[in-house]
Amino acid sequence: MTIILGIESSCDETGVGLVRLDGDGRLELLADEVASSVEQHARFGGVVPEVASRAHLEAMVPTMRRAFEVAGLKLSDVDAIAVTSGPGLAGALLVGVSAAKAYALSLGVPLYGANHLAGHVAADTLEHGPLPSPCLALLVSGGHSQLLRVDDLATRVTEIGSTIDDAAGEAYDKVARVLGLPYPGGPPIDRAAQRGNPRAIAFPRGLTGPRDAEYDFSFSGLKTAVARWVEARERDGEEVPLDDVAASFQEAVADVLTAKAVRAAERFDIGTMVVSGGVAANSRIKALAAERCAAAGITLRVPKPRLCTDNGAMVAALGAHLVAAGVEPSSLDLSATPGLPVSTVSV
């Protein structure tokens, strides 16, 4: 039995997770404590890196204490530490990496610099057990929109496609701003969309033309189309039908994400799809993914929203997979790598 401590600080969430790995490779979640600085960024309409770093510094030790309290464990119970070393904001990552190094050195336990994106996929194993190999991961958050082929969560993750401009969550946040809705924009747009007509406005589906990259995404054109549509209405002195705009925008995002993910699963003959990241909490994306996966005979796995957004438990889970696979730990001169490629699961 092994206790793994996971530390996350790549964006605006300070996360500390504790996971128990048993002899059969099964994981048990013991604690998942998160401190968010999202409210400090709200008036800027997006994450301010310097504010995020400072908030991590303030939250790290209290969040750590809470996690150990919830799990009923002591620091000396920890057998290994995993920390997000990338991708993410440099200053924010550094806080977690520095803390993890200090704990690893003082406790004399192995340290794993872990990839945040593989962590999002690992989160699902806490809820639904081991992943079949291969599986397809659709990762949609404020910073990323990616399609990944996962042959082995600890060692073999390959990118099939990614966004060439805005991430899906970023598009939600920017469209929310255009509509006068608060940041982060995903939840209020999702709510408004449920009252609107998804077929009211035909917004463009990015990169779905015959000559476009099959598995890449683009949301920047969609975001601009929504802004132009709203501006034109306002210029004409007409009321903006907020619910219909939200529903039509959401339909375009959900349509493109799920169509490309299902097409990739079929093309590569992959029978299981995992959808994770903050945007995976979206009601329409979940419903359309369920509908299209069922029609294609694909098993769909979506972790509960708490595990979809950034947290330390997902990093601890990935750490457990690294320990179980016998992956070499990182050295203590581990540094933060803001642009860490998804294929580098641990550094």
- Asked if 196 touches ligand KG4 (CB under 6 A), the answer is no
Any contact of residue 141 with Zn ion (CB under 5 A)? yes
Beta 27-36 vs 13-21: how paired, if at all?
antiparallel
One of 6, 185, 206, 312 touching ligand KG4 (CB under 6 A) = 185
Beta carbon of residue 142, minimum distance to ligand KG4 (angstroms, whole number): 3
Phi/psi of residue 3, each to 5°?
Answer: -105, 125
The count of C-alpha atoms lying within 13 angstroms of the C-alpha of 289, restricted to the half-sphere facing its C-beta, is 29
Using CA atoms, how far apart are residues 177 and 212, in angstroms rounded to an integer?
A: 29
Start-end of H helices in the chain? 38-41, 49-71, 90-107, 116-128, 168-178, 186-193, 220-235, 242-267, 283-296, 305-308, 312-324
Rounded to a whole number of angstroms, the minimum distance from the CB of residue 54 to Zn ion is 20
Q: Decide: is 17 part of the binding site for ligand KG4 (CB under 6 A).
A: no
Site string for ligand KG4, 134-153 (x = CB under 6 A): -------xxx----------
Interacting residues with ligand KG4 between 282 and 311 (CB under 6 A): 282, 309-310
Cis peptide before 184 (omega within 30 of 0): yes
Work out which of 103, 172, 219, 249 binds ligand KG4, going by CB under 6 A: 172
Amino acid in the structure at residue 5: L
Cβ proximity to Zn ion, 166 vs 310, nearer residue: 310
Task: Choose the stretch contacting ligand KG4; rule: CB under 6 A; options: 100-108, 211-219, 272-280, 319-327.
Answer: 272-280
- Specify the DSSP class assigned to residue 131: P
Binding footprint of Zn ion on the chain (CB under 5 A)? 141, 310
Binding footprint of ligand KG4 on the chain (CB under 6 A)? 11, 141-143, 169, 172-173, 184-187, 190, 277-279, 281-282, 309-310
